[in-house]
Amino acid sequence: MPQSINLLTFGLMTEHPLSLFKYCPRCGSVHFEVHNGKSKACRDCGFVYYFNPSSATVALIQNDREELLVCRRGKDPAKGTLDLPGGFIDMYETGEEGVAREVKEETGLMVTRTEYLFSLPNLYLYSGFLVHTLDMFFRCRVEDTLHYTAMDDAAEVFFLPLRDIRPEEFGLESIRKGLGMFLEMNK
């Protein structure tokens, strides 16, 4: 686990997420036990479950005035703080398809081109469950940077000059770190 992630931020103990899974998802047996640091195995049916991160996307959308599209989170975690458009990738989607869908859902903007930049591990508290994610950051081009609206998880959407972006004002740790990396790339 990266040292920068602090489970106490979430009010959680450092208990392994697999400890929440008590029964085998295949046969329902109570003999579902730790197999190694990333999996549990069922003594009765032999099923092995690996706990892997969920894939998520982050969109970095700039206009021609050196501004970046940011959102204000409308829901927890970190409700009310700044964020970037993005979210979980659905099954059978590529990262590029997922980021385009999330941008459309949250802003109404149509992504025309994506460029993968980097990824960062993250912890995301959802419905009281700590989800390990791998956040993939994409530079996105959109059809139109003038007509957008806050929808879905976004309470507000606006462009912010790059020079005015303060990563510490963003509520999620991977977004703060990713913004810092992005700003360094754009100096």
Q: Is 78 helix (H, G, I), strand (E, B) or coil?
A: coil
Beta strands in 21-147, from DSSP E residues, in sequence order: 32-36, 39-42, 48-50, 54-61, 67-73, 82-83, 86-88, 111-126, 129-142
* Most confident of the following: 10-24, 120-134, 152-166: 152-166
Q: Among candidates 60, 41, 59, 61, which has minimal Cα distance to 50?
A: 41
pLDDT of residue 15: 63
The reported pLDDT for the residue numbered 105 is: 97
Share of the chain above pLDDT 90, in %: 76
State how far the Cα of 172 lies from the Cα of 136, in Å rounded to an integer. 14
What was the pLDDT predicted at 14? 53
Instruction: Check pLDDT > 50 for residue 1.
Output: no
Residue 70: both structure tokens together = 């940011």
pLDDT band at 130 (very low <50, low <70, confident <90, very high): confident
The answer to whether 38 and 51 have CB atoms below 8 angstroms apart is yes
CA angle, residues 120, 110, 142, in degrees to nearest 5: 70
Q: Quick: pLDDT tens for 90-104.
A: 999 999 999 999 999
Best CA proximity match to 14, nearest among 120, 127, 123, 88:
123
Section 8-15 average pLDDT = 49
Q: What's the pLDDT band for 4 if we cut at 50, 70, 90?
A: very low
Does residue 13 register a pLDDT over 50? Answer: no
pTM of the model: 0.87
> How far apart are alpha carbons 124 and 128 in whole angstroms?
10
